[in-house]
Structure 1
Amino acid sequence: MTNTNSLSQHRSVWEIRSDSWINLVEDIGYLADLQINNQDRAKVLTRLRLTLDFLIPIESYWAFPSKRVFAELCQYIEREDFTTARQLARRIHRALSAGTYRHDNKVLQSERELPSHIETTSEQQARLSQPYFEVLIVDEMSPAEEDALRRRVISKRCSDDPFIFDIVVVPSFEDALIASLINFNLQAVVIRHGFPARSVNHVDMLERLFIDVDQDIESLPEMERGTLLGRHIAKLRPELDLYLVTDAGVENIASHAGSEIFKRIFFGEEDHIELYNAIMKGVGERYRTPFFNALRDYSKQPTGMFHALPLARGKAILNSNWIGDLAQFYGMNLFMAETSATSGGLDSLLEPVGPLKHAQEYAARAFGAKRTFFATNGTSTCNKIVVQSLVREGDIVLVDRNCHKSHHYGLVLTGASAAYLDSYPLNEYSMYGAVPIWHIKQTLLSFKRAGTLDRVKLVLLTNCTFDGVVYDVERVMMECLAIKPDLIFLWDEAWFAFASCHPIYRQRTAMANAAKLAERFKTPEYAREYAEWKDSIDWEDDQQLINTRLMPDPALARVRVYSTHSTHKTLTALRQGSMIHIWDQDFKEKSEEAFIEAYMTHTSTSANYQILASLDVGRRQVEMEGYQLVQRQLELAMSLREQVMHHPLLKRHFHFLRVGNIIPTAYRESGVNSYFDEGKGWANLEKAWSMDEFVMDPTRATLMIGMVGMDGDTFKNTELMNKYGIQINKTSRNTVLFIINIGTTRSAIAYLIEVLVKIARDVDRRVADMSSAERRIHLKRVNSLTQEQPPLPDFSAFHRAFRGQSLNPAIQTRDGNIRQAFFLSYEDSSCEYIDMQEAAVAIASGRELVSALFVIPYPPGFPILVPGQVISSEILKFMAALDVKEIHGFRPELGFRVFTQETLDRVLHAKESFESIMQYQQINNLRAG
């Protein structure tokens, strides 16, 4: 039974609201049944009152069914008129479940029985023709005044309006914050002049929703509370349109804070119609999809085709006797919209001037970027575009060795030297975490001591990782800029595109932190803070620099940040739909021309318009309902973890990795070991995300499966996919990863739990039927998967032939020329093959074996070796312990492809001769100077 105590263990107000209405209808039905005995009646009444205790405050934050109607329902229950109460409760619940209230404002007035939850065609057309939203009004109103305002709003509705909306009225500052977080129907907020600060009944909900109001709002004059409330709501839900209605100082507020926070500021009650129109216009701006609309309109135009696309307009299909099933499967609109930039009528991705240009501008607004570029061939290409535009041959890039292979190949294409960084290892799960800030600083300082810091141009990191490890982006950029103020950052956020939709996630995104740092560096407060801090630092003491949080000089630091999104992976877009987001203070001056050239290099002249249209619509979804979808995604992930944690059978065989398993103690300043706590529920989540160097995305649910005696690949294919049709991406030797996304449903979570229960039961039955010899084999297998994981190897080193040059002979840096090694491997005479056993003998005898190829086992999917890297004994041991079948760059029948000793000697001799010449020239230049 749902009651007010449920919120101590759940974050999901929405889920409990839905369940509470189900329980409410059911219990009222019991009480309306005259056959129920007095003892059962008393129990049901107690449950019913507990449900109402929860719903009474919560329902005040939604427009439907409205405070008045809900009060009527409570009165029927209080009078024990359960027959009337049941009828009204059923109608409300049906309307909420089916969403009919969105397009039928008389849904509670009709005497007819409500339809089932299956949406009819006419209902679907009504919902799509005039999407529904709600507007939050922050003002103290009597029930009569609120009803009058609602009637006035509804009376303004017109069949020609693109949308319809209803209102929610809350009386205080705190109530407005609560409503902003729990009401996913909101699209605009109207803050009226003068309202109290504190909520009367709902203070405890502020803590449950992680709302932290730092300032003493009680001491603020009422006329200043509106601006402060606007700032808080903009931080939580930046997509909402904010309006201020005030009786005093309207011109002063508009000149100081209005343009920054509010879309419009109105004086008193003089502009009802203008406010109504402004709300509709503001929502329309975010709803608009310029390229999708243009493509849809184009598909309806009559054309005469004489260009090189037989499939366009479906002609090649309609004229065929054999491929008509293609149109039946996809529908004709897909082909009616097929066209080319060269045929006219639509925009060009390479030089957009119309709807595509506007679509990209809207995407920049949605994701907090200065510029956004669409891509139709995946984030692999986006990564290469950014790398090619920012670095050139001879530059040095600090890069996580475990990043996506597109970055490695991008460095090969540009000729930049790679300085590979090591992530902390999670040996027991055969996966890596992320790169600690101390290691990044240490590497930068080594280049500084070597005299080559000027060549370091870019830091390239993955945020979040495949396994859900998320950086403190602000801290990384702050500390790196303290050492090198002009450093550029590329954050591969392929799996993190959804993060900008939610206040918890948003604080760790590249674009949000770029904007935050740029603003912070301009403030006098930061300048004073930096002036005090710099006097405490000895810039010659590397140990102090590594152990101290560094601050960049605001007079020197430049904020130059790029991120790439696989929009199709975590948001709504067709496969390969991706985006590049840019927040670069020096883009126009230093990067724009190179970026456009790189974009031209890698972008097809025949871009897929369907993919581009899906990116445009996906952006609309981010701005209109992204918060709702990501919040539900987060809650479903929490529910899944909690269910497995408490299920008596499942917890014997499986457990989802907690933050304490994924992130070592040294990187968790909060001390939070688990985001879930039996007493506090999920309250630890916000604490950790605001404090820790690394955090874990709870929607990346890594399930430890070693206790069932199956490796990850077997579990994925034999059990999940082949037997039960559950699809997943990633496994390790003893884990499988479930990604909960915005498309995941409660039914899907329930099915997964059901499947895990069936697998656990099957394992128990198999073990029970085993002979003693078979059981020993099984236990040995379990022990191997849970206790005997091979240690993950760090990056060994580049061979001297490919290693970067240091101006200080005493300092050896980590960088190497993978381009040279990569193309040298094309020459068969320069390479040879050596198998695992021969390699071990050769290394033991003192020979340096150097890989000629990338060697990437799947899983775990990161490069064990890159071209030019020395093969270490630790790498051999790891390779020998792997039980995966797919290893790119390694042929079991031949072994490793390595450079011959003669080739290494030749390259090394040429390199040393070149360096001698360069050193001689440097000496002469110094003498001449």
Structure 2
Amino acid sequence: MQSMTDYYSAVQLRADRWSALREATGALVRAPGGRMAKSLTTKIDGLLHSLAPIEAYWAFPGTAAFDMLRRAFDTGHYEDLAFTVQRITRALTSGAYRRRHIPLDRDGTESDDHEDEAMQSLEARAHTKPYFEVMIVDNLNEHQERWLKSNFSRMRRPEDPFHYETVVVPSLQDALVGVLFNHNIQAIVVRPGLILESKVDLPILARYLNRAGGMEALEELDPGNYGPELCRMIARVRPELDAYLITDRSVEDIAGLDLGICRRVFYNQEDFLELHLNIIRGVQSRYKTPFFTALMEYSKQPTGVFHAMPISRGKSISRSHWIQDMGAFYGPNIFLAETSATSGGLDSLLEPIGPIKEAQRLASRAFGSKQTYFATNGTSTCNKIVVQGLIRPGDIVLVDRDCHKSHHYGMVLSGAQVCYLDSYPLNEYSMYGAVPLREMKKQLLELKAAGKLDRVRMLLLTNCTFDGIVYNVERVMEECLAIKPDLVFLWDEAWFAFARFGPTYRQRTAMNAANNLRERLRSEEHIKAFDAQQEVLKDADTETLLNTRLIPPPTSRVRVYATQSTHKTLTSLRQGSMIHVNDQDFKGEVEASFREAYMTHTSTSPNYQIIASLDVGRRQVELEGFEFVQRQVEAAMSMRRAISTHPLLQKYFKVLAAGDMIPEAHRESGVTSYYDPEQGWTDMWECWEKDEFVLDATRVTLSVGGTGWDGDTFKTDILMDKYGIQINKTSRNTVLFMTNIGTTRSSVAYLIEVLVEIARELDELQDDASMMERRGFEKRVSNLMDDLPPLPDFSRFHDAFRSGSETPEGDIRSAFFLSYDEKNCDYLELDGSIHDAMASGDPVVSSQFIIPYPPGFPILVPGQVVSPEILSFMRALDVSEIHGYRGDLGLRVFTQDALKRAGEANQARLKLNDARAKL
């Protein structure tokens, strides 16, 4: 039996324990007097003992059924035990308990053949009432618990849209563990009799309490406040849930308390019907999908189509003799729901007043924003909308240099003065990390010293990066606001939409950090802390400010935007994305320009199927996002552990851990890896709460240089062509495996099998290789692991595109459009003429973006001077797609004459600006 340290979560532990129990009880029944009988009974006893505290948090099979198993074992009724265990395990695996009552005694009429929920047709599953569980928190004896459960059962009505079962826990600690453990829970009923401490003593469960925080302070809390405090604490870890507080305290006592997720307070009453109706209504409010429902209703209406789109209602397909295969492939509904009309309740994305507006409001609630906007052409467009909506020509924007190319194009469109920030390099793996906070503060302080702070408008960062580096979002905003109190933040969370629905991950999302910051800035404690620090830092120099954790003034404006590729990490059709806004000045300052930018970039013919998928994807994450994200992290952690501990895989592969991808200076917790073979799992919560950067565990970067293949060859020739495993991110010696909410344990197992097979084949090749072949292999490995060119930093903008020498920002727009005239440009070959040009002493300046894909960020931008380091890096690139580079012609650069004319025009413009400033 595996020890508890082998499991990242209690959910995995529970599933494997039930499977092991089924196998052990079955084996005992088959050979009750065999030589293994004694060891099997010992194993069964241990499994029952380990499952007992876990099952207290689940409605199925429930504590009563579990006690029945224990009695059957203790009395030697092994056949009854094996039968019931098998039925429970199959119901848990198939999901049958969610659809119907499962009799657990041998006289029950239920068939053993529980159809796997995943094997049912989508239509059959759609007509099943969704199932959830309600947690009741009260310290009850067995008789009282049965009475309470029966009262809830009697409230069920045939017309209820959902079906639920209840699970009772006695204490505040149990409730916190339960909501973080049992993903079926959608509502909590908090009764006056709850106690503080749990009687459960299981390390893997105790670890869950760390996520709720504040347990030490509860010891001094008045027991009368346990209920309100529980609602508040649950709001921190699972804000999507509904809570109902039953209390005997007065209205006046309750009114001033923070009740967190509490939807309603019941005073001194046991009105089970009203409570039942509120529970159903609360779940219904998350279940409803305004636009998807309207689209389904539209598809059922008989209509005459007299507008654009022949494909509407499928007419152009059904009447065709040549494209019937398209109709057969997609089915009729997608065409019945296709229209260019905004009538029939379908609403307009550009001017939403109906179901789209309501769907966006619900998305705003789900993701914690103040406003949310849907986009149907990807996060690239979302990025341009935000940048164009907030940035005016001449505004200075601090930009993560290796952010997605859409941001750089947004800078061109807006006419921003771009100040690029360099991420820390990981030269040994040919990838970048993220921008250190010290670098951001340094640039802001330099701009302040140059008298340009008033022109600084925005800080733009990628969170999390393609490779999984995640910022301490709240700390970044705090310290930057301490220097520039009205700074706007744009967080590109294209790969991080799922993070909102995991308690550990949520704390590093833009919207969560913005809400926390808004609340903290108003507090008396913050005001006192700010005043005290101002006294200390009154005459501080730059180095002191860089080394101090700065506190923002209470008058700071929280202005935060996040763009998310919903389709990348949650359920949505391709190009479905969202813009989340949490800007205190949005209504007064930004709304009009943002609306114009939205109109500029949003199609007047948006895809309704994408909008509907965003609506449904929001419903999913509000009701089961916690479960899916939890399983996603579990799958990734299992992958990490399996590869890291397999002796054969260790010869050729290495899973990069936090210690490999984040320098020690940025890991205050000291955590180097989420898993250690000797100590087991490290609790992620500590480093996610403290460290400047953390590693997203759902992204598994595998170093493959030890195989002798570079990342692109390993991806294309081995994984994709030979085994059908699809990935899209590589570096010179790594490949990135990204888990998502659809990743299963089976797919992880298949990947491990493939890697083991590859390693065995490499072993066989080495066994049969000649001495020269071995030397060749070793040389290839050395070239991939040791002889790597250093990653280049951003060099500089040419003086023709700068507004001064004291700060580094540049006018990317002027350089971009200067290249439109081909007479201003020339081509230089990487292995030829470019050397002569650079040797002449004249700067070689790129006339366009040079973007290797993946990962999709520029290594050169228009107006940037080409450095020897950038040139070396370009030669070493091993990706097949480099946007902006012509292999047949070379690198497109500005001529010296064009740079001279541009420089003269720039100087004249700067003089004119100075004259205007003096006037």
Which TM bucket (shorter chain)? Answer: over 0.9
SS at match of 1:729: coil
- Secondary structure at the aligned position of 1:273 is classed as helix
Alignment map for 1:647-726 (pairs within 5 Å): 647-726=646-725
**In structure 1, the residue corresponding to 2:644 is in which secondary structure?**
helix
Structure 1 counterpart of 2:866: 871
- Name the residue aligned to 1:558: 557
Deviation at 1:873, TM superposition (A): 1.2
Instruction: Report what 2:12 is aligned to.
Output: 15
Aligned counterparts of 2:312 and 2:254: Cα–Cα separation in 1: 52
SS at match of 1:129: coil
> How far does residue 143 in structure 1 lie from its aligned partner after superposition?
1.7
Mapped to 1, the partners of 2:121 and 2:383 lie a distance apart of: 45
Other-structure match for 1:67: 63
Q: Does 1:626 align with 2:625?
A: yes
Mapping 1:292-691, distance limit 5 Å: 292-538=292-538, 541-555=541-555, 557-691=556-690
1:29 equivalent to 2:26? Answer yes
Shift of 1:151: 2.4
8 Å CA contact retained: 2:347, 2:355:
yes
Percent identical pairs in the alignment equals 54
1:115 corresponds to which of 113, 116, 122: 113
1:95, distance to aligned residue in structure 2 (A) = 1.3
Whole-angstrom distance in 2 between the partners of 1:507 and 1:450: 35
Separation in structure 2 between the aligned mates of residue 337 and residue 163 of structure 1, nearest angstrom: 27
Q: SS state of the match for residue 56, structure 2?
A: helix
Which structure 2 residue ranges, 5 or more long, are not aligned? none
- Name the stretch that deviates more: 533-542 or 73-82: 533-542
Partner of 1:166: 165
Seen in structure 2, the aligned counterparts of structure 1 residues 917 and 577 have a Cα distance that, compared at 3 Å, is: closer
For residues 902-922 of structure 1, give each alpha carbon's deviation from its aligned partner in whole angstroms, at most 9, with x where no partner exists.
111111122223323433444
Q: Deviations over 1:485-507 (max 9, x none)?
A: 11000000000000000110000
Shift of 1:690: 0.8
Greater Cα shift, 454-463 or 851-860 = 851-860
Q: Is 1:738 the equivalent of 2:732?
A: no
Structure 1 residues 427 and 798, CA gap change in structure 2 (3 angstroms): same
- Whole-angstrom distance in 2 between the partners of 1:7 and 1:124: 40
Q: Is the 8 A contact 1:840 1:873 kept in 2?
A: no
Post-superposition shift, 1:269?
Answer: 2.8
- After superposition, give the CA deviation of every residue in 1:500-553 in whole Å (9 maximum; x if it has no partner): 001100000000000000000011111011111111114661111111111111
Q: Report deviation, 1:104.
A: 1.1
Deviation at 1:648, TM superposition (A): 1.3
User: SS where residue 61 of structure 1 aligns?
Assistant: coil
**SS of the residue aligned with 2:216?**
coil
Q: CA deviation at 1:8?
A: 1.9
Indicate the SS of the match to 1:550. coil
Q: State the match for 2:817 in structure 1.
A: 823
Q: What CA distance in whole angstroms lies between the structure 2 residues aligned with 1:584 and 1:680?
A: 44
What's the CA shift string for 1:610-658, capped at 9, x where partnerless?
0000000000011000000001100110100100111111111101100
- Following the alignment from structure 1 to structure 2, what is the Cα–Cα distance between the partners of residues 113 and 344? 46
- Kindly tell me: are residues 123 and 399 of structure 1, through their superposed partners in 2, closer, same or farther at Cα, counting changes over 3 Å? closer
Whole-angstrom distance in 2 between the partners of 1:203 and 1:733: 44
Query: Of 19, 34, 49, which residue of structure 2 is paired with 1:53?
Result: 49
Alpha-carbon distance between aligned partners in 2 of 1:857 and 1:496, rounded to the nearest angstrom: 22
Distance 2:121 2:430 in 1: 53
Q: CA deviation at 1:205?
A: 4.2
Using the alignment, how far apart are the partners of 2:857 and 2:523 within structure 1? 42
Aligned 8 A contact 1:94 1:117 in 2:
no
Report SS of the residue matched to 1:482.
Answer: helix
Amino acid at match of 1:533: Q
Q: Are the aligned partners of 1:100 and 1:107 in contact in 2 as well (CA < 8 Å)? A: no
CA distance in structure 2 between the aligned counterparts of 1:123 and 1:575, rounded to whole angstroms? 21
Rounded Cα–Cα distance in structure 1 between residues aligned with 2:672 and 2:102: 50
Quote how far apart the aligned CAs of 1:804 are: 2.4
Deviation at 1:257, TM superposition (A): 2.6
Q: Give the corresponding residue for 2:218.
A: 217
The equivalent of 2:38 in structure 1 is 42
Match of 1:808 in 2: none
SS in structure 1 of the partner of residue 215 of structure 2 = coil
- Give the whole-Å Cα distance in 2 for the aligned partners of 1:89 and 1:304: 58
Q: CA–CA distance in 2 between the matches of 1:122 and 1:377?
A: 31
Q: In 2, Cα distance between the equivalents of 1:669 and 1:42?
A: 50
User: C-alpha distance in 2, partners of 1:269/1:232?
Assistant: 24
Paired residue type of 1:284: Q
The alignment partner of 1:257 has SS state of coil
Alignment CA distance shift 1:169-1:47 (3 Å): same
| 2:627 counterpart SS class | helix
2:235 aligned partner, one-letter code: A
Q: 1:280 to 1:343 in 2, by over 3 A?
A: closer
> Partners of 2:214 and 2:28 in 1: how far apart?
43
* Amino acid aligned to 1:457: R
Q: Any conservation in 2 of the 1:655–1:703 contact (CA below 8 Å)? A: yes
RMSD across aligned positions (CA): 1.7
Q: Does 1:862 align with 2:857?
A: yes
3-state secondary structure, aligned to 1:760: helix
Matches of 1:843 and 1:635, distance apart in 2: 52
Residues 113/915 of structure 1: CA separation in 2 closer, same or farther (3 Å cut): closer
Once the two structures are TM-superposed, the CA of residue 256 in structure 1 deviates from its matched residue by: 1.6
User: TM-score normalized by structure 1?
Assistant: 0.96
* 1:171 alignment partner AA: P
* Residue matched to 2:892: 897
For structure 1, the 5+ residue unaligned runs are 806-810
Deviations along 1:694-726, one digit per CA (max 9) or x if unpaired, are 000011100000000001111011010011100
Pair 1:145 & 2:148 matched: no
Q: In the alignment, which residue of structure 2 is the partner of 1:83? A: 79
Counterpart residue number, 1:129? 128
Q: Secondary structure at the match of 2:638?
A: helix
Q: Deviations over 1:228-263 (max 9, x none)?
A: 1111111111111011001222x1244223665410
Distance of aligned partners of 1:649 and 1:122 in 2 relative to their CA distance in 1, 3 Å threshold: closer
Q: Partners in 2 of 1:34 and 1:626 — Cα distance?
A: 44
Q: For residue 195 of structure 1, what is the aligned residue in structure 2?
A: 194
Quote the offset at 1:361 in angstroms. 0.3
CA contact (8 A) 1:469 1:696 kept: yes
The AA in structure 2 aligned to 1:327 is G
Distance 1:639 1:412, change over 3 A: same
User: Please, which moves more after superposition, 640-649 or 105-114?
Assistant: 105-114
Distance in 2, matches of 1:325 and 1:122, equals 22
Indicate which of 783, 806, 809 corresponds to 1:812. 806
Partner of 1:909: 904
Q: How many Å separate the matches in 1 of 2:334 and 2:754?
A: 36
Deviates more, 1:811-820 or 1:603-612: 811-820
Q: Deviations over 1:341-385 (max 9, x none)?
A: 445541100011111100000000000000000000000000000
Three-state SS of the structure 2 residue aligned to 1:599 is: helix
Aligned AA (1:831)? C
Please give the secondary structure, in 2, of the residue aligned with 1:801: helix
The one-letter amino acid paired with 1:911 is N
Partner letter of residue 232 of structure 1? Answer: M
Whether the 8 Å contact between 2:233 and 2:260 is mirrored in structure 1 is no
Q: TM-score, normalised by structure 2?
A: 0.97
Residues 208, 683 of structure 1: 8 Å contact kept = no
How far apart are residue 84 of structure 1 and its match? 1.1
Name the aligned partner's letter for residue 312 of structure 1.
S
The verdict on how the C-alpha distance between 1:219 and 1:883 changes in structure 2, with shifts beyond 3 A counting, is closer
Q: Distance in 1 between matches of 2:682 and 2:852?
A: 38
Structure 2: distance between partners of 1:422 and 1:160? 59
